[in-house]
Amino acid sequence: MKKGKGCLGVGCLVVIIIIAIIAVVLFTQRNNISAVITGASSSDEEIQQQITDSKKEVEQELENYNISGLRDFTLEEEEAIRKGDMTVDEAMANIMAESNIPVQPSDGQGSAPQTGASSQPSGNSGSSPAQSKQAQASAIVSEYTVRLYALKANYLGQIGNLIDQAKADHKNGMGTGALMSKYLGRAASLENEADSQVDSLLGEMKGKLNAIGADTSIVSTMKSSYENEKALKKSYYLSLFNKKK
């Protein structure tokens, strides 16, 4: 790498500030160093592929609950949400149309759409107990997967707003110290809120699956994917900023 002294300029400071904001919002501190290394050494295409692979792990786990076609947001959809070109509800509508899973309208903020599956009967009168439990588990997992996807997308949009505001403030003359003071606290609060809600959703799903004696392996898979995706997202944004400067 031959960027050397060029990274001492104001432009590079802005990049560092933005990266710091993203780091606090999206990632735990223990992931920061590896994410920076990945972002500096990998192309955005390589990181995109790793993100896609992480999402596919969840999709493969969903198949164990007889759920197919329920995908996560594509990178293009996430970027459109982050930039304000698409709402969370619009992106969710695309996913639900492809999956053929009925969904009730969300609260307008993309935070908790509900699938229609959980309101369906737990099983047909001719179903065996095992089939009935499988149907109930599929309904529970479908609903909470959709809610988790929408939650992640909703916070991605908020992250985009935070980054845009920081850029605008810098262009208007706000200094490095003021930017850090204004945004890092807000970023930390946003991260904590997102993590708390994800943990709450996963805890609810695990509790409902336990109540019917169903397999709960999907919970740990979703949690690991969420944490992994956070680190990869940081690397992805870092690679994009490196490409611009």
Measured distance CA(96)–CA(115) in Å, rounded: 9
- pLDDT tens track, the chain, 245 positions: 555 554 445 555 566 666 666 555 554 444 444 544 454 556 777 888 888 888 888 999 999 899 988 999 888 888 888 888 888 889 888 888 888 665 444 443 444 445 554 434 444 455 677 788 889 999 999 999 999 998 888 887 787 677 778 778 878 888 877 877 887 778 778 878 888 999 999 999 999 999 999 999 999 999 988 888 877 776 666 565 455 44
Partners of 103 in beta bridges: 115
Angle, CA 71 vertex, CA 65 and CA 76 arms, to 5°: 165
Strands (E), the chain: 103-104, 114-115
Measured distance CA(196)–CA(135) in Å, rounded: 28
Domain extents in the chain: 18-118+129-240
103 phi/psi in degrees, rounded to 5:
-140, 140
